[in-house]
């Protein structure tokens, strides 16, 4: 979940900065010619801005991940645990046909791990101290296999392309909404005043929430494939055992029934739209049904 969250936050921040910069430079005025929108220019600008945000987010993903969680990259293993981590990731990377990722540990009580990076041969696989302290070697091996599979499947690159496409639509339609609002609500005949800027930014944020539902759906879809990859690299039963361990930990950390309805992960149909991962029981069942 960390890699998706960091990617989305970075992407959003970049889009906001680009939007404000272009507005200050007067570039938005190219969309208004002879009193109407220049749709061709708007589309070109939307594509450039949309993919710039997602591509820059991808290129920054390792740097952001390391600093946000305080990950310690293992250059030279300092103990048996670090040696085991490096050896396991190296073996799985060779099996998956990718370059050796950087291996890191970060201090956190939660059982978690993530993989990120701009290509299959320049990735980062990081695990929490909580995972190493609470999972068996077999379960940890399966989690590492899951993360290595994300890298081998090129999920971050594909996520970047998906994000670039939805960014393009968000920017395109938010500018149209801003132009119409500026003319009809703020009565600006030129359609490029402060009303345009405010309306388009609000529309961009609201449409961005809807667009992120598409990104979240893709993320959930790819988790099933990464589970399958983890099962192939570490063994099906190990992968199932790892997911069951995560499920047990999740249940133990659940909010009391009296306040569960106020929790951020209530599990309702609406909250599911924003989940980066499918429910663990669905992932376990999918693995059990697989050949």
- Alpha-carbon distance of 280 to 32, in angstroms, equals 50
Handedness of CA 54, 60, 61, 67 (dihedral sign): negative
Nearest residue to 61 via CA among 128, 114, 139:
114
- Alpha-carbon distance of 22 to 80, in angstroms, equals 52
Active site residue 192: no
> Which position among 147, 244, 251, 281 bears the catalytic label?
147
CB under 8 Å to 128, separation ≥6 — which residues? 105, 106, 107, 108, 109, 110, 111, 112, 113
Q: Where does 107-183 show beta strands of DSSP type E?
A: 113-119, 122-128
Check: CB of residue 245 under 8 Å from CB of residue 284.
no
- Alpha-carbon distance of 267 to 189, in angstroms, equals 47
Q: Where does the chain show beta strands of DSSP type E?
A: 32-33, 36-37, 72-73, 102-106, 113-119, 122-128
Q: Any idea which residues carry the catalytic annotation?
A: 147
């Amino acid at each position: 979940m960390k890699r998706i969250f960091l990617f989305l936050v970075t992407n959003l921040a970049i889009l906001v900065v680009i939007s404000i910069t272009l507005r200050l430079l007067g570039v938005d005025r190219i969309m208004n010619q002879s009193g109407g929108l220049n749709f061709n220019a708007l589309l070109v600008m939307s594509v450039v801005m949309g993919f710039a945000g997602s591509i820059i987010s991808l290129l920054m993903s390792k740097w952001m991940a390391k600093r946000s969680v305080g990950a310690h990259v293992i250059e030279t293993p300092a103990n048996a645990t670090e040696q085991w981590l490096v050896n396991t990731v190296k073996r799985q990377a060779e099996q998956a046909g990718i370059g050796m990722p950087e291996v890191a540990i970060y201090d956190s009580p939660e059982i978690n791990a993530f993989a990120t990076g701009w290509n299959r041969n320049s990735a980062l696989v990081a695990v929490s101290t909580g995972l190493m302290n609470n999972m068996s070697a077999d379960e940890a091996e399966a989690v590492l296999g899951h993360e290595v599979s994300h890298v081998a499947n090129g999920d971050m690159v594909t996520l970047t392309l998906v994000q670039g496409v939805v960014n393009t639509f968000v920017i395109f339609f938010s500018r149209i909404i801003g132009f119409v609002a500026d003319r009809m609500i703020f009565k600006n005949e030129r359609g490029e005043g402060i009303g345009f800027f405010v309306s388009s930014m609000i529309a961009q944020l609201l449409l961005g929430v809807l667009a992120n539902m598409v990104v979240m759906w893709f993320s959930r879809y790819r988790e099933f494939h990464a589970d399958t990859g983890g099962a192939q690299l570490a063994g099906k039963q190990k992968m199932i055992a790892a997911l069951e361990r995560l499920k047990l930990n999740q249940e133990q950390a659940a909010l009391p029934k009296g306040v569960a309805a106020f929790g951020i992960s209530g599990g309702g149909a609406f909250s599911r739209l924003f989940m980066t991962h499918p429910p663990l029981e669905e992932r376990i069942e999918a693995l059990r049904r697989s050949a």
